């Protein structure tokens, strides 16, 4: 399968074919049954999720409020929707401890699930609230709510009644700055905007930590999620590697280690495409920053390639927590989330 780059340098996209964005995944624990009747998931299929058949702006158009585009690192709606359909049934409870503009929550309630999200920064939680209201106006049958606070302290934020009630966690840690933001061409070159989580005065956000600090904070969040998960419940984390000073930062491996420290069991590693599949080819949709880095590297003689996927790291809470430390880990620490 060949890869073809397709780059649109402005934050508005041309019309895209309305292809289905639900791919297939490999299950290592058996069949994940989709009871929605709309998006069947094949148990022996590929571990590749075809989640970018439409561009991000096309996926969100009309389904999310326009202000949603201002968040620097939005999850593709198709990724959240695929996870919800693959790992839950209608009526289940879905959690996103770093919900941002509420993508996971919106896709969950459209699918007839209930959802709860935690968001530290008021700007994004307000947009998430607006997106939930918009989804209900469009007929979404599920219920959702946003809790504002630090997700590294989930147990103090959420009611004890939610312990072991969550069927699925879908979330993503903040990525590196090379994949953040939007660009707009102008007379003086390319201007970058909407590329920060706040005005820079709050450096406690996980997005401002180095990889070690980010992994430690994320492990704290996953410990809290493990308490809320029902036995056998699923955690889906998307994590994209990025390049810093030409070096690849292996965020997915750091996330796997964080999940293990939190007492969760890794069960699957899939790929969510950031490229469309067209006639046997991958049509890459890199960010401007990725494309710029690859072009500079190649001009300097380094044969870098575009990253056309996110790793999807899937964990389970064990059926029994004997010896795992999930319910007894009282580690504390600072850090806030986006």
pLDDT digit string, tens, across residues 137-164:
999 999 999 999 999 999 999 999 999 9
Q: How confident is the model at residue 302 (pLDDT cuts 50, 70, 90)?
A: confident
Say what the pLDDT of residue 158 is: 96
Residues 238-269: pLDDT tens digits? Answer: 998 777 776 778 889 999 999 999 999 999 99
The answer, yes or no, to whether residue 231 has pLDDT greater than 90, is yes
Res 22 pLDDT > 50 = no
Q: What percent of the chain has pLDDT over 70?
A: 70
Q: Are 46 and 86 in contact (CB under 8 A)?
A: no
Give the pLDDT band of residue 189 (cuts 50, 70, 90): low
pLDDT at residue 181 in the model: 47
- Taking residues 159-172, what's their average pLDDT? 97
Residue 202: the pLDDT is: 61
Decide if 71 contacts 98 (C-beta within 8 A). Answer: no
Is the confidence at residue 68, as pLDDT, over 80? yes
Higher pLDDT, 37 or 267: 267
The region of weakest confidence among 16-25, 133-142, 284-293 is 16-25
pLDDT at 334: 32
309-316 and 229-239 as β-strands: parallel, antiparallel, unpaired?
Answer: antiparallel
Identify the DSSP state of 292. Answer: H
Amino acid 66: pLDDT: 95
Q: Beta strand 265-273 with 229-239: parallel, antiparallel or unpaired?
A: unpaired
> Does position 215 have pLDDT exceeding 60, yes or no?
yes
Q: What pLDDT is attached to residue 201? A: 60
Query: What would the two tokens of residue 306 be?
Result: 């575009």
Catalogue the E-assigned strands of the chain. Answer: 2-5, 48-49, 93-96, 114-119, 144-148, 166-171, 182-186, 189-193, 229-239, 242-244, 247-249, 265-273, 275-278, 281-284, 309-316
pLDDT at 206: 63
Inter-residue contact 186 to 102 (CB < 8 Å): no
Token reading at 162: 């939610």
Q: Are 156 and 90 in contact (CB under 8 A)?
A: no
Please state, in angstroms and rounded to a whole number, the distance separating the CA atoms of residues 168 and 230: 9
Domains recognised in the chain with CATH numbers: 2-304 (3.40.50.150)
Q: Which of 126, 318, 154 is nearest to 223 (CA)?
A: 154
Compute CA distances 206 → 48, 175, 247, whole Å: 28, 10, 21
Q: Left (φ > 0), alpha (ψ -120 to 50) or beta: where does 32 sit?
A: beta
Check whether 225 has a pLDDT greater than 60: yes
CA 335/CA 26 separation, integer angstroms: 34
**Distance of CA 57 to CAs 65, 129, 147, 237, Å?**
11, 19, 26, 22
Which helix (H) or strand (E) segment holds residue 211: the answer is helix 211-228
Q: Which of 70, 33, 330 is nearest to 181 (CA)?
A: 70
Strand partners, 310: 272
CA angle 291-189-303, nearest 5°? 25
Q: How far apart are CA 15 and CA 253, in angstroms?
A: 36
SS3 category, 94: strand
């Amino acid at each position: 399968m060949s890869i073809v780059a397709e780059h649109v340098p402005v934050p508005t996209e041309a019309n895209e074919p309305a292809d289905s964005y639900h791919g297939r995944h490999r299950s290592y624990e058996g069949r994940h049954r989709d009871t929605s009747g709309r998006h069947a998931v094949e148990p022996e299929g590929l571990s590749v999720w075809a989640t970018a058949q439409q561009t991000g702006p096309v996926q969100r158009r009309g389904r999310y409020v326009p202000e949603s585009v201002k968040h620097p690192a939005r999850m593709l709606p198709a990724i959240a929707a695929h996870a919800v359909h693959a790992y839950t049934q209608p009526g289940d409870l879905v959690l996103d401890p770093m919900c941002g503009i509420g993508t996971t929550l919106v896709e969950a309630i459209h699918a007839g699930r209930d959802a709860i999200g935690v968001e530290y920064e008021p700007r994004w939680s307000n947009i998430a609230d607006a997106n939930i209201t918009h989804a209900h106006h469009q007929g979404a049958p599920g219920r959702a709510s946003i809790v504002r606070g630090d997700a590294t302290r989930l147990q103090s934020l959420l009611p004890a009644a939610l312990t072991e009630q969550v069927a699925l966690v879908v979330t993503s840690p903040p990525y590196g700055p090379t994949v953040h933001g939007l660009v707009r061409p102008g007379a003086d070159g390319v201007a970058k905007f909407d590329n920060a989580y706040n005005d820079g005065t709050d450096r406690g956000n996980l997005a401002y930590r180095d990889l070690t600090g980010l992994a430690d904070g994320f492990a704290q969040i996953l410990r809290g999620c493990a308490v809320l998960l029902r036995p056998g419940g699923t955690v889906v984390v998307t994590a994209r590697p990025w390049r810093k000073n030409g070096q690849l930062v292996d965020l997915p491996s750091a996330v796997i280690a964080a999940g293990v420290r939190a007492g969760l069991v890794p069960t699957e590693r899939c790929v969510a495409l950031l490229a469309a599949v067209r006639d046997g080819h991958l049509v890459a949709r890199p960010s401007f920053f990725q494309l710029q880095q690859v072009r500079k590297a190649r001009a300097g003689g380094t044969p870098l390639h575009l990253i056309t996927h996110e790793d999807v790291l899937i964990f389970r809470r064990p059926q029994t927590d004997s010896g795992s430390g999930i319910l007894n880990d009282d580690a504390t620490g600072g850090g806030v989330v986006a």
